[in-house]
Chain A
């Protein structure tokens, strides 16, 4: 579909601007599907109308009609053709869905936490924020989403993405915004009293402005988003004095992780954290896997499941005891202890 007609369709259908490549792909499918839908409904309605006019009864006397029966095979053939069309949509939709979930290489990871009734954002190097999610434009971003209390849903209409935030679990979402701008974010899963006001703003900054934001400046776009009356609840969080990795260090001490895990490379009761991230682990089962963020969080929640060979099975679970943000912080801390830390990711 040529871009101009796509914009026209977007206006006709009241779709908001599409701020990413994926959103435009989804819109293209949307146009096909919705056009076919409207044509189908119209065709059936019109056919019925034509029959109605053509075969309407004159006078009140009913007249007998011919017995007309279409063999079932024709109906099934028709159904088969239609199913082919539906499956084509499904095929395209499925691929797009997978693309939405696949994180591109080098994506900026940001932790999103929904709680009644606000969105909190934390990334490895930027400040934590509430209600305003700041990302660089033209760079892949991966959101790791969870909730503190009940199910929420992180919804950005301009990106055509939505992902439930489920307590006790991380879900993820990836996108690359084309150009700078600010876009509304809603909570789409009913979550109680102020569900209708659980809004936030997604601000995409040009790379250099994003860099300044990391360094502490508040670019006007972010300030505006925070003060936008239409997007209430959008405000900048207290600027954290420490980075997320530093917070992870504090939390690791608080939860007693450091009683068993060292950070200097010496094995203790548990494996050391130095160089742990990204290294290959050998489990008691003989299975080998790489200690990524998934493995680390899994180990905190279900330590008995993927035991590493050579250590006693003594680690307690932290399921339900640690806040998701703290889990994320500790993972970031362990990440900062990898051997190649400091080099480009």
Chain B
């Protein structure tokens, strides 16, 4: 119960932090900071609430696999989308 309370408090604190930070003018750092906080939060949910901490290897493997597929899709496709200089009418 204590673990859940601490985790919960941390999540709520991070939520407020994320909201607070978004009211500042961070410019280009805004998105990375927001995503970093979100990642930490999801990590807390997965490890403590979803018991990944004590989960058997198989469950960890599949928890990870979803994540890996995100990295694959975003990582490789981004090399096209970012380097292509986009959809515009760009005869390059």
Contact = CB atoms under 8 A, between A and B. Distances in A.
Interface in B50-92: 85, 87-92
How big is chain A's contact interface, by range? 10 to 19
A170 B91 CA distance: 5
A301 B89 CA distance: 7
Contacts, number: 32
A169 B88 CA distance: 6
Contacts of B85: 294
Nearest to A109: B91
Interface in A149-180: 168-170, 172
B66 to A, nearest CB: 29
B44 to A, nearest CB: 38
A116 interface: no
Nearest to B84: A169
Contacts of A144: 91
A291 interface: no
B87 A294 contact: no
A302 interface: yes
A277 to B, nearest CB: 14
B91 A301 contact: no
B84 to A, nearest CB: 9
Interface string A293-306: 11001101110000
A294 B86 CA distance: 12
A327 interface: yes
B87 A169 contact: yes
A336 interface: no
Contacts of B90: 169-170, 294, 297-298
Nearest to A145: B91
A301 B88 contact: yes
A182 interface: no
A146 B89 contact: yes
A226 interface: no
A26 B24 CA distance: 56
Given A169-B90, A170-B89, A294-B85, 17 more contacts: A168-B89, A169-B87, A169-B88, A170-B90, A172-B92, A294-B90, A294-B91, A294-B92, A297-B88, A297-B89, A297-B90, A297-B91, A298-B89, A300-B89, A301-B88, A319-B88, A324-B89
Top 7 A-B residue pairs of the complex, sorted by shortest distance between their CB atoms: A297-B89, A170-B91, A144-B91, A301-B88, A298-B88, A294-B90, A294-B92
Interface of B: 85, 87-92
